[in-house]
């Protein structure tokens, strides 16, 4: 029954996208299609499609995919129940992986390959999910106004000397929630709330926009200071003259280099508990952590590889080297609910 449902979904064009015919055999032809893996992904980057194609060429396993918001995908898997065609859930941010974990939709994977490649702090302790790429949450400032004196750590953003100089995204943004969750883990809820209130007191305007608009606001001098993910800023370095000018107008601070290190978050994936193609799903996860696949994350989307021993691309490296916080991504997820409450009490809308 489950195989019949999968066939209908894959070939009827309801949502999953992939060819339903095998690749012709012949000299130099790709490996014939011999199986499939169904991906539910909240990543929306073009380079991921090339990555999926390469996996099929190398293994003969067809990749079917659905793209949607992470929370919607988690709810979809829950509602589909035992008949869900989903084999793998791929999402951005440790917080969303934690939500999938709490929803009970993931199954542990004991792959020695994954444990060897992915550092311990970037994977779930019981193998429910594994980091695929990372990004650092950095402080940026307007170069024309000069590097803000006394700004070296996340804690410094709450210093009253920066009153009226800071622009931020909404507290509902998962990146900000995860950052505050990491502060809770390191310093406790009381200190985290004190920090959040201090940052709110320094806002130049109500929270709004996204990381891209924060970069452009700082470059234009509309705000002096903000925080963004590294891969958003690195995109401007490879753009047209206008984008390059924005990149050149922004200075970078990697926070907490004398302490715990700069907060790092992940994109990650886990095998769905009811996966109809579990073996293929594990093979796909192992492929995503291979050096060739990790280069797609690094070169195609300006992310840092999660696999140990690999380097970022030149655009990201140009931002500077840094000491990364090695707080477990699992711990970042655990503090999400408390972080939301603190933001609300602090008036960080």
In this predicted model, what pLDDT tens digit does every residue of 57-89 receive, in sequence order?
Answer: 999 999 999 999 999 999 999 999 999 999 999
Q: pTM (2 decimals)? A: 0.87
* Average pLDDT, integer, range 326-340: 94
* Average pLDDT, integer, range 237-266: 95
Grade residue 32 by pLDDT with cuts at 50, 70 and 90: low
Residue scoring higher pLDDT (120 or 313): 120
Q: Residue 239 pLDDT more than 60?
A: yes
Helix/strand/coil percentages in the chain, nearest 5: 45, 15, 35
Tokens describing residue 322? 């840094």
Q: Which residue has the tokens 């907490």?
A: 256
Q: Which residue has the tokens 């990790």?
A: 294
Tokens describing residue 113? 């390959």
Instruction: Tell me what percent of the residues of the chain surpass a pLDDT of 70.
Output: 91
| DSSP letters spanning 170-224 | -TTSHHHHHHHHHHHHHH-HHHHHHHHHHHHHTBSS-S-S-HHHHHHHHHTTS-S
3-state secondary structure of 38: strand
Q: Which residue has the tokens 């129940």?
A: 81
Contacts of 295 (CB under 8 A, 6+ apart): 305, 310
Residues 225, 256: Cα–Cα separation, whole Å: 16
Per-residue pLDDT, 34: 75
148 backbone dihedrals φ, ψ, rounded to 5°: -60, 125
In this predicted model, what pLDDT tens digit does every residue of 163-180 receive, in sequence order?
Answer: 999 999 999 999 999 999
Per-residue pLDDT, 299: 87
In this predicted model, what pLDDT tens digit does every residue of 275-297 receive, in sequence order?
Answer: 999 999 999 999 999 999 999 88
* Average pLDDT, integer, range 198-220: 97
* Average pLDDT, integer, range 261-279: 97
Residue 154's H or E segment, with its range, is none
Q: Which residue has the tokens 């999910």?
A: 129
Grade residue 33 by pLDDT with cuts at 50, 70 and 90: low
Tokens describing residue 155? 């804690």
The CA-atom distances, in angstroms, between 215 and each of 93, 175, 199, 236 are 20, 15, 18, 9
Per-residue pLDDT, 14: 34
Is 329 within 8 Å of 121 (Cβ atoms)?
Answer: yes
247 backbone dihedrals φ, ψ, rounded to 5°: -60, -45
Is 328 within 8 Å of 121 (Cβ atoms)?
Answer: yes
In this predicted model, what pLDDT tens digit does every residue of 174-200 receive, in sequence order?
Answer: 999 999 999 999 999 999 999 999 999
* Average pLDDT, integer, range 44-51: 83
Q: Residue 23 pLDDT more than 50?
A: no
In this predicted model, what pLDDT tens digit does every residue of 111-157 receive, in sequence order?
Answer: 999 999 999 999 999 999 999 999 999 999 999 999 999 999 999 99
Residues 279, 153: Cα–Cα separation, whole Å: 44
Domains of the chain (ranges; CATH) run 2-133+266-312 (3.40.190.10), 135-263+321-346 (3.40.190.10)
Grade residue 301 by pLDDT with cuts at 50, 70 and 90: confident
């Amino acid at each position: 029954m489950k195989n019949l449902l999968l066939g209908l979904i894959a070939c009827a064009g309801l949502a999953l996208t992939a060819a339903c015919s095998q690749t012709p055999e012949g000299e130099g032809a790709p490996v014939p299609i011999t199986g499939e893996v169904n991906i539910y992904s909240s990543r929306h980057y073009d380079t991921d499609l090339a990555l999926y194609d390469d996996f099929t060429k190398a293994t003969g396993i067809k990749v079917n995919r659905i793209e949607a918001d992470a929370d919607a995908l988690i709810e979809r898997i829950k509602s589909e129940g035992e008949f869900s065609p989903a084999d793998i859930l791929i999402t951005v941010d440790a917080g969303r992986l934690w939500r999938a974990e709490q929803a009970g939709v993931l199954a542990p994977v004991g792959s020695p390959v994954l444990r060897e490649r992915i550092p311990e702090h970037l994977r779930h302790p019981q193998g429910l999910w594994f980091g695929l790429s990372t990004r650092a949450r950095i402080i940026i400032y307007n170069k024309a106004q000069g590097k803000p004196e006394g700004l070296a750590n996340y804690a410094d953003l709450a210093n009253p000397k920066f009153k009226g100089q800071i622009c931020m995204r909404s507290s509902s943004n998962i990146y900000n929630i995860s950052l505050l969750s990491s502060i809770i883990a390191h310093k406790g809820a009381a200190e985290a709330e004190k920090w959040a209130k201090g940052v709110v007191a320094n806002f130049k305007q109500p929270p709004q926009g996204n990381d891209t608009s924060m970069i452009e606001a700082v470059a234009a001098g509309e705000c002096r200071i903000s925080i963004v993910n590294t891969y958003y800023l690195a995109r401007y370095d490879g753009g047209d003259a206008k984008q390059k000018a924005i990149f050149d107008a922004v200075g970078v601070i990697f926070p907490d280099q004398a302490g715990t290190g700069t907060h790092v978050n992940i994109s990650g994936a886990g095998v769905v508990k009811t996966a109809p193609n579990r073996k293929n799903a594990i093979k796909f996860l192992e492929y995503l952590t291979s050096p060739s696949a990790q280069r797609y994350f690094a070169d195609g989307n300006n992310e840092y590889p999660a696999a140990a021993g690999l380097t970022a691309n030149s655009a990201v490296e140009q931002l500077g080297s840094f000491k990364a916080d090695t707080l477990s991504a699992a711990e970042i997820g655990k503090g999400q609910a408390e972080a939301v409450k603190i933001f609300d009490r602090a008036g960080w809308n």
